Amino acid sequence: MTVFLLLPSLLFLLVVFVGPLFRYAWLSFHADSVMTGLIAIPNGGANWLRLVQDQRYWQDLGQTLRFAGVSVGLELFLALIIALLLDQRWRGRDLVRTLALIPWALPTTVMALGWRWIFNTPYGPIDYFTNLVGIGSLNILGDPNLTWMATVWADVWKTTPFAALILLAGLQTIPVDLYEAVRLEGGNPLICLRRITLPLLRPYILLALLFRLAQAFGVFDLIQVLTGGGPASSTESVALYAYWNALRFLDFGYSSTIIMASFLLISVICLIAWIGLQILIPTHSESRGVIKS
């Protein structure tokens, strides 16, 4: 009986999540492009060999990792501050929390046009301010060294509220007495943070970290509309490269290979992040002993 309840959902999940992975794996060992008349023809590991030698893929991978790493790091940092702020009780808190959620609700492409204007040289407000404080015009969207930072900024703006809410949920599960205990022993807010908040918050930080890392790795909407991958391909991401291979170059075999490789890589990266976080922030029981001593 229960099986029938699960079946429809299971079917959808298999078709949408599991099916594609098998399809990609299969397709990556075939040549399927405009040169084969859009028919799949087995070609052994040729696509994989090409991927290994494809400098552009590795450059895109590096750029994507840089984007994801900096973006997620910045987000978590800001999210923690915001969550701490929202955890306290003050008038208008609920309204501020709602307003702070608005960036997260707006579709990326909708606001990307806005960012194009804000970062515009010479007409945007950022340019106005940099000139005002004497830095001069920065050509943010045209300088390969600066454009990626603009994409990070736009991404942090959108996703920090989400991370903040997750951390806030975690903060609200921490019993107040723990803070009291530390205060009685003469600890200051910083010690509270290090010994209590962060360790107890670790599962939530982990959740936010993994979720955001995986999503940031697949960045697509933002890059396509804000920069188109440029300038000098400095903001191109692996998802964008896979998309172009499929829809611009009509090379489905190679696109599948890129997607498959990226999926494997992000799984490994998430694993590393998970382990890394365990090491970086010891659990509450581990740090308890330190306070006592």
Q: Which of 76, 196, 246, 281 binds other proteins (CB under 8 A)?
A: 246
Check binding of 17 to other proteins (CB under 8 A).
yes
CB of 3 to other proteins, least distance (A): 8
How many residues make up the chain in this entry? 293
Q: Which of 76, 80, 112, 152 binds other proteins (CB under 8 A)?
A: 112
CB of 289 to other proteins, least distance (A): 27
CB of 275 to other proteins, least distance (A): 16
Check binding of 217 to other proteins (CB under 8 A).
yes
Check binding of 6 to other proteins (CB under 8 A).
yes
Separation of alpha carbons 245 and 252, rounded Å: 7
SS3 of residue 129 by DSSP: helix
Count CB neighbours of 22 within 10 A: 10
Q: Which amino acid is located at 125 in the chain?
A: P
Nearer Cβ to other proteins, position 195 or 263? 263
**Binding range to other proteins, per CB under 8 A, among 52-60, 175-183, 191-199, 277-285:** 52-60
Q: Interaction with other proteins in 88-107: which residues (CB under 8 A)? A: 88, 90, 94, 96-103, 105-107
Check binding of 152 to other proteins (CB under 8 A).
no
Q: Which of 73, 187, 230, 282 binds other proteins (CB under 8 A)?
A: 230
Residue 213 CB burial class (10 angstroms; 0-12, 13-18, ≥19): buried
Q: Interaction with other proteins in 159-188: which residues (CB under 8 A)? A: 161-162, 165-166, 168-170, 172-173
List phi, psi (to 5°) of 95: -65, -45
Nearer Cβ to other proteins, position 182 or 225? 225
| Tokens 């382990």, located at residue | 275
**Binding range to other proteins, per CB under 8 A, among 115-123, 180-188, 192-200, 281-289:** 115-123
Count CB neighbours of 289 within 10 A: 9
Separation of alpha carbons 119 and 187, rounded Å: 44
Residue 206 CB burial class (10 angstroms; 0-12, 13-18, ≥19): middle
Helix axes 147-171, 55-87, angle to 10 degrees: 40
Check binding of 131 to other proteins (CB under 8 A).
no
**Exposure pattern of 171-182 as b/e (b: 16+ CB <10 Å)?**
beebeeebeeeb
Q: How many residues of this chain bind other proteins (CB under 8 A)?
A: 114
Q: Which of 130, 131, 215, 287 binds other proteins (CB under 8 A)?
A: 215
CB of 6 to other proteins, least distance (A): 5
Nearer Cβ to other proteins, position 118 or 178? 118
**Token pair for 189:** 């807010």
Cα 199 to Cα 195, 202, 207, 288, distances in angstroms: 7, 5, 14, 10
Q: Which of 69, 142, 187, 282 binds other proteins (CB under 8 A)?
A: 142
Which of 249, 85, 11, 173 has the alpha carbon at shortest distance from 257?
A: 249
Check binding of 232 to other proteins (CB under 8 A).
yes
